Structure 1
Amino acid sequence: MRLIIAEKPSLARAIADALPGTPRKQEGAIAVGDTTVTWCLGHLLEQAPPDAYDPALKQWRLDTLPILPERWKLTPRPKARGQLAAIRKLLKTADEVVHAGDPDREGQLLVQEVIEYLGWKGRVSRLLVSDLNRPAVQRALARLEDNARYQPLYRAAESRSRADWLYGINLTRAWTLTGRQAGHDGVLSVGRVQTPVLGLVVRRDAEIRDFTPRPFFVLWADLAVAHGELRAWWAPGEHHPLDDQGRLLAREPAATLAERLPGAEGRLEALETQQKRQAAPLPYSLSALQVDAARRYGISAKVVLDTCQALYERHQLITYPRSDCRYLPEEHFAAAPSTLQSACRDDETLRGWLSGADFTRRSRAWNDTKVGAHHALAPTGRPMDPTRLSATEANVFRLIARNVLAQFYPTLSTREVKAEFRILEEIFRARGQEVLDPGWKPLFTTRDEAPPLPPLTEGEVCRVQEAGVEDRETRPPEPFNDASLIKAMMNIGRYVDDPAVRRTLREHDGLGTEATRAGIIETLVERGYLVRQGKALRATRLGSALIASLPEAVGRPERTALWEQRLTAIAEQNCAPGPFLDSLISDLRALLGAADANRLRQALHSAEGEEAKVPQRASRRRGTGRATSRGSKRRAPRRRQEGN
């Protein structure tokens, strides 16, 4: 009997439906001919708690830190014991095992750790399914690989799981116990990703709080030219008081010039015309979709993720959603016309977009060299029936379909014009844009970026009709919201001060993963470290105090971003897991030595932030709570290990 172990029941059903024969339901499995398909329920196993290594570690004490397991243990999740027993029974009669976890690092870990935990010693094949449609699953079944090829990916995921445990358990215990000495009765959760994300928000809030607005002044002049009118802006010279962005800091020079300008004549001294072509935005990765959906519809990253999961699993309208890739396999190009026509036929908006698609066009999106374990989000071809979807599901699906349809539209073609006038020996500049071919742009917006200038000829005369001075003020940065925080996590190198580290991060940008970023934000809200104010995400007093009390490196992104690089090196067989974990343990010892009750007490006393109702999730029986960096006696599902 061939046993296929899928990551989730929905994937198991899709695999069973794609096999030849009639599916027969069994306890915890589906049999089809000589193949049985079973499933995990997310993670069936989790890292064992500290007291599994030593019962004395159930009590939280500073003198037991750091906790460093010599031989790592996994333990079944309480609600997963039944399914784990079903897989154990099936393995006893199996001749062959097929690993059908999701096509990513965590999916490799999730199924393989079950296979190894249950003691299977035989050969294991790997099935990679990124699209639940029957033809796609059948193609995947015809391309089974040796699971040994993915052993480095498993080792990287295993290293991540163990490192998160070490980091989260030890730092959470240390700061929670130090917090008690400082008078805070509650768990202070620290994680290798969640805490740097919190640090981003705390520092942004501090920038806003400490910002001092500075006035600056701009002078405009409405000019009459040979073929129309335009507005130009004064470019003051360096002999005037300017800031580092060239803004005028004194009103008097602008006001004096404005009085002299009406009726004055000048000449167009320089004219620059540039024709530009812009390709359509690529199909979405999950994070890119979360950013756009938050901006367009104001929905949180977590809602976008949950919506995509529903579109993938329940409705089977889109391909695997937890993807960090924005490219599509080249083999999908030929099927794209029929796929998109089927997907869009029952929705008026999509039919309108479909009518403008030219399927003879081939964009840069179809590129096998850019596709890894999974590809960009795309429609599967199943018709989208808006009456069977929620409004949010329909809106998110339209975004996904739109970005794929846009690959079959012409490029956006524009003519950009920059004009420089000399009037009263001063320089005035104007710029405009003319759309030559809107291409894909109408699918995204009907708004022009800049109005076109009238036809201009270098050397022509202009006359000032009117002029005026505008009083403006510098503005603080905007507070983070779901869209901007997800974008910051995707492009974390922008928030790194060290130029060398920033250069390194250009190739390996990212804080968290496509699958975890939304959950990290929600976790910080649930724990009372962040609070939502409308669309804005602000740090609470507790969140600000935690960051202030920690060593600076714990609340900054450099450590975890470089950590991800090490994990990538393990996955690509360029690095062994041992040195990575040894380095982490060395760092942990130094960080634990920085736990200071006086510093934490002062941070709690002086913290500034928003007020929030903090969920009472931590055990009040001091020193008896189970050691998890989630800091909770109410056990949340741990699809991704602590500290993420």
Structure 2
Amino acid sequence: MKLIIAEKPSQAQALAGPFSKVKKLKGYYEIPPQEFFPEGAYLTWCVGHLLELVPPKDYKPEWEKWKLETLPMMPDRFRYKVSPSKWDQFQTIKKLAFEPGVTEIIGATDAGREGELIYKSLLLNMNCRKPVKRLWISSLTKKAVLDGFKNLKEGQETLPVFFEAYSRACADWLVGLNTTRAYTLLMQKKGIRETFPTGRVMTPTVALVVKREHEIEKFKPEPFFEVIGSFDVNGKKYSGKWHDKSSSRLKTKDLAEEIKRRTENQFSSVNSIKKERKEYHPPMLFNLSALQAKANQVYKYSPERTLNITSDLYLKKVVSYPRSDSPYITEEEAKMMPGILKQLGDLEEYKHLLPSPKRSLIGNPRFVNAAKVSDHYAIIPTENVANPAKLSRDERNIYDLIVRSVIAAHYDKAIMDTTTIVTKVNERDEFISKGKVIIQEGWRKVLFENKKKEAKKEDDENTLLPDLTEADKGRVENVAIREGKTQPPKRYTLGSLVTLMKTAGKTIEDEELSKVLEQVQGLGTEATRSSIIKKIEELDYIRVEKNQVFATEKAKGLIAAIGEESILTSAETTAVWEQRLREIGRGKADAKQFMELTRKMTEKVISDAIAGAASWKVENIPLSKTAEPIGKCPYCGKEIIYIKRNDFYGCSGYKEGCKFSISGKIARKKLSAAQVKRLLEKGETTKLKGFKSKQGKPFAAALTLNKETGKIEFKM
């Protein structure tokens, strides 16, 4: 008999779907004997990460209190423990794993480093030494699941991916916990009563936003003037912008007026005509970062919202695995595309776009390249084609983006002619006119359809110019002066911040998304970037207004203290770490060596912080505002107060070392002071509505206070 371990209940349900006569029991499914499981199988699930790295106090009692003299904390060996709220499910899995009839374990968590960490750390913690196989799939359709069970990997084959995930978790513990304590304690000596969480990926991301904030603050707008001439050449009319060799912008109005006076009502001649033909290939397929950036651009969805929606579509088996970092597919997926396009062509939304000019992508290296597919291929629709009318609005929007990217890949390239005309007035002043003409629409028909904003932008850029020849003579009909001001750097949007993390801080203006999708060293991974952005917003390092990202005073104070040249704020250094982790996952780098470098880096950051703290200027960080006491701390008896700025209820005895706190928002539900007061007094709230799971599904539960762990738990 075999034991299959999935990552979450919904995934387990999808994996059970293709099999017959499956019986659902408490905490697992029972699959009776059949083709893939001659002796039957148990199919159970984790609830995300069942295990967590133990806190500092579990290594050494003196590490419980926050003190500079105990830093850096360097465990000899990192240990995991079961999350208290997930103990029951852990016991269910453990009982099944040690059933005498179970002879093999199949890891069926998400095919990636976090999925690998979830089930392998679980087996290690249980000291389960039974043979292990690995299910590695990118889709939950019946065909993908059955093919996956037919072609299981050996457990040893994906062991490097586990080392990658384990190294990442331990490195984040070392850097995050040590530097958070160091900067928080040093800030307290400056009179700032705040917690300053820092991290290997989080802090460089905050630094990028702060850097842009400073650029905007320091920017001083300068006026400029442009001279626009309108010309008539034998009845053919067009306009152009005056320019010299360096620029078309003039610093003074007097100079613009002078140009206007000497060119108005004068003779003109066409000095040169240059035509350039450009070809534009279809954009590459979506990986997660590109999809998040596009969805934010078009629908203003936050990166997290896009990931949640796409994950729901994945669980509905209509798109492939969402946390992909590759914009490529293999030939196997390319072979399935004609069938998928045929089904899409039967839908009202896409029948006018299909059949496409190209029936197959096989042999097209722009999209099909197995060497550039790592854990997962690009995000594409599966053979279970969805009727958009049966999806929610959000699901329909994301599904449409994914579908159109695939249809566009089967279209011809777009071809445009760009014409540049230089008109001379009195053989002295030159005016430039530019225009574009679409020669072949190609894939643009698919992606620019019904996009009014894009259409207007295209109209502005595609000015039609008359058919002229060099040396044509004419007159200046009118000359106008246009006044403007230089603009500060643009604020990052949530979508462009994801792209910025992907490119390790290298900004790409007006980027063609396909160019960003190449595998590059970046901050975080496809799976973590949206959660990092959400976290720095919750920590009050950024605020988001109308999709624009602002750095807070708290963030500016922290980065000023750390320093823009610090290893901790360096996007490039963090990107190199991420690349090294990827190499560990491919068996090309040593995990022990990586951890040793991380230890040395942590020591240096802390010693630099202590040495430089005397020169910090942090007066601009506003103190947290506190409300009236809510109740008594269950550990030290001091008052619990609401810290509005960070949205949590904390113990006023923090200076004496008490770290008890309750988040002001749990599972996306805002807690009232009355609810927290009852929780403190009685150890349990009444049943509360309004919680949401990670998948966005609402649920109701009471909250209980586990006095042994200090954590808030759900009572369903």
Query: What corresponds to 1:328 in structure 2?
Result: 329
Contact 1:546–1:600 under 8 Å retained in 2: no
Query: What corresponds to 1:40 in structure 2?
Result: 46
Q: Distance in 2 between matches of 1:609 and 1:228?
A: 67
With over 3 angstroms needed to count, the CA separation of the structure-2 counterparts of 1:9 and 1:200, relative to structure 1, is same
Contact 1:97–1:125 under 8 Å retained in 2: yes
Letter in 2 for 1:438: E
With over 3 angstroms needed to count, the CA separation of the structure-2 counterparts of 1:58 and 1:325, relative to structure 1, is same
Query: What corresponds to 1:476 in structure 2?
Result: 488
SS in 2 for 1:272: strand
Query: What corresponds to 2:29 in structure 1?
Result: 30
Question: 528-537 or 349-358, which moves further after superposition?
Answer: 349-358
Query: What corresponds to 1:100 in structure 2?
Result: 108
Q: Within 5 Å, which residues of 2 pair with 1:157-196?
A: 157-196=165-204
With over 3 angstroms needed to count, the CA separation of the structure-2 counterparts of 1:344 and 1:601, relative to structure 1, is farther
Matched, 1:442 2:454: no
Matched, 1:200 2:204: no
Structure 2: stretches of 5+ with no match in the other structure? 34-39, 450-454, 509-516, 626-643, 669-692, 695-716
With over 3 angstroms needed to count, the CA separation of the structure-2 counterparts of 1:495 and 1:397, relative to structure 1, is closer
C-alpha deviation, 1:414, in angstroms: 1.4
Letter in 2 for 1:48: V
Match for residue 303 of structure 1 among 305, 319, 335: 305
Question: 180-189 or 284-293, which moves further after superposition?
Answer: 180-189
Matched, 1:558 2:558: no
Query: What corresponds to 2:638 in structure 1?
Result: none
Q: Distance in 2 between matches of 1:374 and 1:488?
A: 22
Contact 1:58–1:625 under 8 Å retained in 2: no
Deviations 1:396-449 (A, max 9, x none): 111111111111222212112122233222322222111112112132225224
Deviations 1:446-484 (A, max 9, x none): 522422322232333343221222122111012222112
Letter in 2 for 1:431: K
Q: Distance in 1 between matches of 2:477 and 2:507?
A: 46
Deviations 1:222-272 (A, max 9, x none): 22235732221222246xxx6xxx743233333212122233233323322
Q: Distance in 2 between matches of 1:273 and 1:560?
A: 45
Letter in 1 for 2:285: P
Letter in 2 for 1:543: A
Letter in 2 for 1:9: P
With over 3 angstroms needed to count, the CA separation of the structure-2 counterparts of 1:261 and 1:401, relative to structure 1, is same
Matched, 1:70 2:63: no
Contact 1:421–1:428 under 8 Å retained in 2: yes
Q: Distance in 2 between matches of 1:58 and 1:604?
A: 27
Contact 1:268–1:460 under 8 Å retained in 2: yes
Match for residue 534 of structure 1 among 546, 550, 554: 546
C-alpha deviation, 1:620, in angstroms: 4.0
Query: What corresponds to 1:153 in structure 2?
Result: 161
Q: Distance in 1 between matches of 2:658 and 2:231?
A: 73
Q: Distance in 1 between matches of 2:354 and 2:645?
A: 48
Query: What corresponds to 1:399 in structure 2?
Result: 401
Match for residue 294 of structure 1 among 270, 293, 296: 296
C-alpha deviation, 1:213, in angstroms: 0.8
Contact 1:12–1:37 under 8 Å retained in 2: yes
Query: What corresponds to 2:710 in structure 1?
Result: none
Contact 1:327–1:371 under 8 Å retained in 2: yes
Q: Within 5 Å, which residues of 2 pair with 1:235-314?
A: 235-237=243-245, 247-313=249-315
With over 3 angstroms needed to count, the CA separation of the structure-2 counterparts of 1:626 and 1:139, relative to structure 1, is farther
Contact 1:343–1:380 under 8 Å retained in 2: no
Q: Distance in 1 between matches of 2:465 and 2:562?
A: 55
Contact 1:179–1:600 under 8 Å retained in 2: no
Match for residue 119 of structure 2 among 111, 114, 130: 111
Deviations 1:124-182 (A, max 9, x none): 22211111111111122222122212222211111111000000110111122222222
Query: What corresponds to 1:570 in structure 2?
Result: 584
SS in 2 for 1:266: strand
Query: What corresponds to 1:499 in structure 2?
Result: none
Contact 2:270–2:422 under 8 Å retained in 1: yes
Give me the TM-score of the superposition, normalised by structure 1. Answer: 0.89
Q: Distance in 1 between matches of 2:235 and 2:207?
A: 54
SS in 2 for 1:593: helix
Query: What corresponds to 1:590 in structure 2?
Result: 604
With over 3 angstroms needed to count, the CA separation of the structure-2 counterparts of 1:625 and 1:455, relative to structure 1, is farther
Match for residue 521 of structure 2 among 509, 514, 529: 509
Deviations 1:46-103 (A, max 9, x none): 1110111122322211111111101211011122212211221121132112222222
Deviations 1:302-337 (A, max 9, x none): 111111111112x32211111111112221223223
Matched, 1:143 2:157: no
Letter in 2 for 1:139: D
Matched, 1:428 2:437: no
Contact 1:545–1:600 under 8 Å retained in 2: no
Deviations 1:171-227 (A, max 9, x none): 111122222222222321111111111111112111111111112222221222357
SS in 2 for 1:513: coil
Higher relative contact order (CA 8 A, sep 6+): 1
Q: Distance in 2 between matches of 1:617 and 1:406?
A: 51
C-alpha deviation, 1:636, in angstroms: 7.9
Q: Distance in 1 between matches of 2:209 and 2:287?
A: 24
Contact 2:342–2:355 under 8 Å retained in 1: no
Contact 1:357–1:409 under 8 Å retained in 2: yes
Match for residue 219 of structure 2 among 211, 236, 261: 211
Contact 2:296–2:494 under 8 Å retained in 1: yes
Contact 1:276–1:416 under 8 Å retained in 2: yes
SS in 2 for 1:150: helix
Matched, 1:7 2:7: yes
With over 3 angstroms needed to count, the CA separation of the structure-2 counterparts of 1:610 and 1:359, relative to structure 1, is farther
Deviations 1:3-53 (A, max 9, x none): 22222222222222234x421223322222222222221111111101111
Match for residue 648 of structure 2 among 616, 631, 638: 616
Deviations 1:610-641 (A, max 9, x none): 998431255543264569xx9969888999xx
Letter in 2 for 1:90: L
Structure 1: stretches of 5+ with no match in the other structure? 497-504, 640-644
Contact 1:16–1:31 under 8 Å retained in 2: no
With over 3 angstroms needed to count, the CA separation of the structure-2 counterparts of 1:634 and 1:415, relative to structure 1, is closer
With over 3 angstroms needed to count, the CA separation of the structure-2 counterparts of 1:128 and 1:507, relative to structure 1, is closer
Q: Distance in 2 between matches of 1:371 and 1:262?
A: 61
With over 3 angstroms needed to count, the CA separation of the structure-2 counterparts of 1:11 and 1:273, relative to structure 1, is same
SS in 2 for 1:68: coil
Query: What corresponds to 1:501 in structure 2?
Result: none
Q: Distance in 2 between matches of 1:495 and 1:632?
A: 35
Matched, 1:131 2:139: yes
Contact 2:361–2:367 under 8 Å retained in 1: no
Contact 2:2–2:103 under 8 Å retained in 1: yes
C-alpha deviation, 1:386, in angstroms: 4.0
Letter in 2 for 1:555: T
Question: 396-405 or 533-542, which moves further after superposition?
Answer: 533-542
With over 3 angstroms needed to count, the CA separation of the structure-2 counterparts of 1:262 and 1:609, relative to structure 1, is farther
C-alpha deviation, 1:593, in angstroms: 1.9
Q: Distance in 2 between matches of 1:634 and 1:51?
A: 26
Q: Distance in 2 between matches of 1:609 and 1:269?
A: 65
SS in 2 for 1:70: coil
Letter in 1 for 2:338: P
Contact 1:225–1:463 under 8 Å retained in 2: yes
Deviations 1:536-575 (A, max 9, x none): 1212222221222224322331221121122122223332
With over 3 angstroms needed to count, the CA separation of the structure-2 counterparts of 1:231 and 1:517, relative to structure 1, is same
Contact 1:343–1:379 under 8 Å retained in 2: no
Letter in 2 for 1:117: N
Question: 301-310 or 30-39, which moves further after superposition?
Answer: 30-39
Query: What corresponds to 2:476 in structure 1?
Result: 464
